[in-house]
Structures are given as C-alpha cells and as structure tokens.
Amino acid sequence: MLAYILLNSIPTQEKNIIEDLNKIPEVIDVNGIMGKYDIIVQISTDLPDDIDSAVRKIRSIKGVTSSYTMPVIYGQGGSIDKKRD
C-alpha cells in the first residue's frame, strides 16, 4: 500500500520533524514544501491496516499540528508491483 501524507507543523520545527520522519520504517520519502502544507511524506506498507499505524506514528511527532492522508488508488497510476527500495 502506498500513501502520501501532507503535514502542517509548528513554524521552525520542520527540520526536526523531517529528521523524526526519516526514522519511521514505513516512510520512503520526505520533502519540505511551500503552500498550504509544510511537509509531504510518502509511505509504503504491506497491509492497509499498517497505513493507520504509520499515520499514528507520524501524528505523534512533536511539532506536527495536522495531517491529511491520501492513499493511492492502484490502477490509476500506482502499481502493486512497485516495491520500495
């Protein structure tokens, strides 16, 4: 399962949050962004329920104020065959 998560954070905490995000095994990519959200995270899990677990870990990071999770719909650009590195 693949999902993208948009995060808002306390200003000036982005670098610390990104460091903590990179310690979560399900996280495969993290980038700071400009606009309505501060950080975008890509996660990959084997089971749908594991998405919930990863999101709970992410939401518990100090400085994260809100999140918006977008699971990928396979067959519309995503592929079940794609594996994380």
Amino acid 74: pLDDT: 76
Q: With 90 as the cut, is the pLDDT of residue 75 above it? A: no
What is the rounded CA–CA span in Å between residue 16 and residue 21? 9
What is the rounded CA–CA span in Å between residue 1 and residue 11? 31
Sign of the torsion formed by the C-alpha atoms of 73, 34, 28 and 23: negative
- Which residues are registered as beta bridge partners of 9? 64
Predicted confidence band at 83 (pLDDT cuts at 50, 70, 90)?
low
Is 0.75 topped by the overall pTM?
yes
Query: Average model confidence (pLDDT) for the chain?
Result: 91
8 A C-beta contact, residue 48 and residue 1: yes
Domains, the chain, in order of start with CATH, read 2-71 (3.30.70.920)
Residue 32: partners with Cβ closer than 8 Å, 6 or more residues away: 14, 18, 38, 39
Q: With 70 as the cut, is the pLDDT of residue 77 above it? A: no
Quick: pLDDT tens for 54-73.
999 999 999 999 999 999 88
